[in-house]
Amino acid sequence: MVINYDDNKISYSGRIDFDGDGAHLYYPATSAAVSFKGSFLSVSIENKTYWGTLSLGYVIDGRQGRVPLQRFNDEKTAEYRLTESLDPNQTHTLILYKMHAANHYFSVKSFETDGEFVAPPEKPDLKLEFYGDSVSAGEVSEAVDFVGRCDPSSHDSIYDNAWFSYTWQTARLLNAQIHDIAQGGIAVFDGTGYFNMPDTVGMESVYDKVRYFGGSTTPWNFSRYIPDAVIFALGQNDNHNCIEGEPDMDIYDPVYRKKWKDGYKGIVKNVAKHYPADTKYIFLTTLLRHDPEWDRAIDEAVNELKSENISAYHFLFKRNGDATDGHPRIPEHREMAEELSEFIKGIIS
């Protein structure tokens, strides 16, 4: 049995673009879930790789796996066998998901099994939305031998896995849906941070997009997903100035501090225009080492947003900004997810 990408037996999650040619996945943690009876499951996709050693991520009946993406299949429809030798009399559930951020994007064309597809699992009621950088995307999270240490050299994306990000772990702990608007190296402003060097792109040009890289961009229709809580996790990359010969950004400088806070708040207020007045907005940075002055600036921005009747909160992890010089690994993401999920429980009735 074959079902096409637009069949109602496929349950999609995340910002996904549908254009009559497929379901296009750009952000990490975007996914497609199916339930079926059969001995195998295959997916037909069209992939476009930009860099890295990449895989398709999947979870079958709670067990995680991956299938390497083959570069020779780039921009051609190719079939990938995700799982086989299953009990054909049992109902299985598989989640196909995007492990990486802008390293690539892919388009779902169809799923196939030798049995039948049944109704997909229902989505949880609680909805979360995240805006963040490489930590929120789960980059280098699988390098568990480097807990508390700098990243391994020349890892070429092989340790990236959005499934283990604190964002998705938080959503699973809370039994929540997730949209993860996360990209490695991103800062608030264009021209700062590290994403899309040398002409860097900031969250100010990404937050309202579905397709945000690899050619023309496409806008996101915010009415398609109304979250209960929105988490913003920026500030790690914002000191980097991409103008050659110019000094980096100085958060201690009152002029730049105000500019940065106003830019950050501008994104938040534009997002808030689309959501109910009681939506919660949580600001944080992560365990990755950084100057705590960025957190103090965030605290100021949160108080300023509160004065404008936005339900804003500043959350600090117990080891905030002082746990590791490299990306957090799986156990560190778990640590963050446990702390953040408890905080969210406390503010959402």
The rounded mean pLDDT for the chain is 97
Both 174 and 107 in one domain: the answer is no
**pLDDT for res 89:** 96
For the chain, how many structural domains are there in total? 2
Tens of pLDDT along 142-151? Answer: 999 999 999 9
**pLDDT for res 226:** 98
Both 225 and 330 in one domain: the answer is yes
- Cα distance between residue 335 and residue 287, in whole Å: 10
The residue range of the domain holding 61 is: 2-118
Cβ pair 67, 82 in contact under 8 A: yes
Sequence-ordered list of residues with C-beta below 8 angstroms from that of 265, at least 6 positions apart, any chain = 301, 304, 305
- In the predicted structure, residue 235 carries a pLDDT above the cut 80: yes
Q: What is the band of 71 on the pLDDT scale with cuts at 50, 70, 90?
A: confident
- In the predicted structure, residue 154 carries a pLDDT above the cut 90: no
Both 205 and 296 in one domain: the answer is yes
Of 118, 140, 163, which residue sits at a domain end? 118
Q: What is the band of 111 on the pLDDT scale with cuts at 50, 70, 90?
A: very high
CATH number, domain of 148, equals: 3.40.50.1110
Both 199 and 253 in one domain: the answer is yes
**pLDDT for res 125:** 97
Both 174 and 322 in one domain: the answer is yes
Helix (H) and strand (E) counts for the chain?
5, 17
Both 297 and 230 in one domain: the answer is yes
Pick the range with the lowest mean pLDDT from 32-36, 71-75, 80-84, 200-204.
71-75
Both 171 and 289 in one domain: the answer is yes
Both 149 and 250 in one domain: the answer is yes
Of 118, 134, 151, which residue sits at a domain end? 118
Q: What is the band of 72 on the pLDDT scale with cuts at 50, 70, 90?
A: confident
Of 66, 83, 118, which residue sits at a domain end? 118
Both 112 and 33 in one domain: the answer is yes
0.95 exceeded by pTM: yes
Q: What average pLDDT does the segment 108-130 reach?
A: 97
Cβ pair 37, 60 in contact under 8 A: no
Give the residue ranges of DSSP H helices in 203-329: 254-272, 293-306
- Cα distance between residue 302 and residue 262, in whole Å: 11
Both 47 and 143 in one domain: the answer is no
Both 114 and 147 in one domain: the answer is no
CATH number, domain of 61, equals: 2.60.120.260
Both 33 and 64 in one domain: the answer is yes
Cβ pair 247, 296 in contact under 8 A: no
Q: What average pLDDT does the segment 104-117 reach?
A: 98
- Cα distance between residue 82 and residue 97, in whole Å: 12
Q: What is the band of 309 on the pLDDT scale with cuts at 50, 70, 90?
A: very high
Cβ pair 160, 142 in contact under 8 A: yes
Q: Beta strands of 30-84 (E only): which ranges? A: 31-37, 41-49, 55-60, 63-68, 77-83
- In the predicted structure, residue 73 carries a pLDDT above the cut 80: no
